[in-house]
Copies of this chain bind each other. A is one copy, B any other.
Amino acid sequence: MKRFGFLLAAGVALLALGQPAFAADANVFTPATLKASSDIQAKALAGSGAYGFVESLTVRVGPRLAGSPAAKLSHQWAEARFKELGLSNIKVEPFTVDGWERGIEHASILSPVAHHLHVTALGHSVTTPPDGITAPVVRFDTLEDLEAAPEGSLKGKIAFVDKKMNRLQDGGGYGEAVGVRGKGPEAAARKGAVGLLIRSIGTDSHRFPHTGITRYADGVTAIPAGALSNPDADQLNRVLALGQPVSVKMVLSSQAMGPLSDANVMAEIKGRELPDEIVVIGAHLDSWDLGTGALDDGAGVGIVLAAAKIIKSMPQAPRRTIRFVLFGAEEVGLVGAYAYAKQHAAELPKHQAGTEADFGAGPVITFNANFRPEAKPVAEAIGKALAPLGIVPGRGSSSGGPDIGPLAAQGVPTGGLGLDGTDYFDYHHTADDTLDKVDPKKLDQATAAFASFAWLAAEAPMALGPVPKKAE
């Protein structure tokens, strides 16, 4: 039904303009819609204002760890921005998250030669005793090697997993390397280890350790876990290569804070024809505590707010509603995203598409989509409309971004605007994730891409879903 309607609508538009009948995929959108998309891109490229939003967030709020007072401040900040932009249906939707606070962090090699090591606790790591843990170190190349260690072989030891992350434009090296961050503490504890150190999941060679969430398994002793910066992991390797037993002290005095209140903040531009159908464009408002979360995900927040500003400035509202969602508590396990999926479960069949900007400050270099097969021409037409920004087809099917995952799991179609991640993991989850790493021009290009995508998905002549529910 919808497909038929779409072809008819496109045909009518074309006849009205006296144009020859091109293949459907070249004529999905009316010239007016494409002109509007092009205008949106031009406005963004001329100065989207996205950088200003990132600056405001990182200066007026700073780091905003899930559940923290700064996170609450970020909700107020976001609400105020949405109000300034004149958006409707502004909501702060609360949920509960397990709180955690970083304390003193210190590590050093005590023997055979003394070295200070730059370390940070993995997110939600349990604390060491106040005086820390001092123990011999046993090194493993990978998580798999740690898991293959004989039972009890790490009794009283600190396990060190030394897996190096590869630098790839699409960030694919992250998935290859990050497993040890989540599963390492359990694996090490199962072998008797009293602590875990991992090489940072990051591509830089600076003395910034990369934090990130870890997990503990029920019934297995929870041991403290930290990440060493890449140069410090290198140095530990060199000291191990001296061939003598290596003793390390680690002090990570973190603290679990119990259940705390957090929230998603959202707002809308109401659709002119199909106000109940919703395109979600999102980013996450929370950040880790070490940097100011400029790239992760201040940049995404800037893109979403600037996209809202530009779309709001258009002479006509989009056909469907565009919902701007700033998720909370992404870093600690997509807690805000799951809360959104739950709180909006009844609406999910009406979600036309979802996308998130959560991979740095641009530019967008690829586009792919996970739409129903009948909507392939829409994906192709959107791709064509994005091409002037230098965007090429991406590989595979789109995930839409981490916070879109719980929606995709319920069959919501996704658009994937692939940001250039070549340098992203140089800064990701470190103290060095600060505003100076954001290039306003690249951010404008990314805003152009996200805003025009949202516009076109909202204008589409057919529903883009449902799609098969995605495994999470």
**A234 at the A/B interface (Cβ < 8 Å)?**
yes
**A115 at the A/B interface (Cβ < 8 Å)?**
yes
Residues in chain B near residue A205, CB distance under 8 A: 436-437
Which of A113, A116, A207 is most buried by chain B, counting CB atoms within 10 A of its CB?
A207
Minimum CB–CB distance from A360 to chain B (whole Å) comes to: 16
Say yes or no: A55-B238 contact (C-beta < 8 A), given A207-B208, A436-B205. Answer: yes
A56-96 CB contacts (< 8 Å) to partner B: 59-63, 70
A230-257 CB contacts (< 8 Å) to partner B: 230-231, 234-235, 238-239, 242
Stretch from A121-129, A160-168, A427-435 contacting the other chain:
A427-435
Minimum CB–CB distance from A206 to chain B (whole Å) comes to: 5
From B60, B114, B115, B436, A234 is in contact (CB under 8 Å) with B436
**A352 at the A/B interface (Cβ < 8 Å)?**
no
The residue of chain B having its C-beta at the shortest distance from the C-beta of A230 within the complex is B436
- Chain A 102-116 interface 0/1 with B at a Cβ cutoff of 8 Å (1 = within): 000000000001111
Residues in chain B near residue A61, CB distance under 8 A: 113
Residues in chain B near residue A234, CB distance under 8 A: 434-436
Q: Are A206 and B432 in contact (CB under 8 A)?
A: yes
Say yes or no: A432-B115 contact (C-beta < 8 A), given A238-B55, A242-B59. Answer: no
Say yes or no: A231-B432 contact (C-beta < 8 A), given A55-B238, A208-B207. Answer: yes
- Chain A 422-463 interface 0/1 with B at a Cβ cutoff of 8 Å (1 = within): 000000000110111100000000000000000000000000
Which of A113, A115, A116, A434 is most buried by chain B, counting CB atoms within 10 A of its CB?
A434
From B207, B230, B242, B435, A431 is in contact (CB under 8 Å) with B207
Q: Bound complex: CA of A206 vs CA of B229, how far in Å?
A: 14
Q: Are B434 and A235 in contact (CB under 8 A)?
A: yes
From B62, B291, B435, A114 is in contact (CB under 8 Å) with B62
Residues in chain B near residue A115, CB distance under 8 A: 62, 292
Q: Bound complex: CA of A70 vs CA of B114, how far in Å?
A: 9
Q: Are A436 and B231 in contact (CB under 8 A)?
A: yes
**A199 at the A/B interface (Cβ < 8 Å)?**
no
* A and B contact pairs by CB, cutoff 8 A, 27 listed: A55-B238, A59-B113, A59-B235, A59-B238, A59-B239, A60-B113, A60-B242, A61-B113, A62-B113, A62-B115, A63-B116, A70-B114, A118-B431, A205-B436, A206-B206, A206-B432, A207-B291, A207-B431, A207-B434, A230-B436, A231-B432, A231-B434, A231-B435, A234-B435, A235-B292, A235-B434, A235-B435
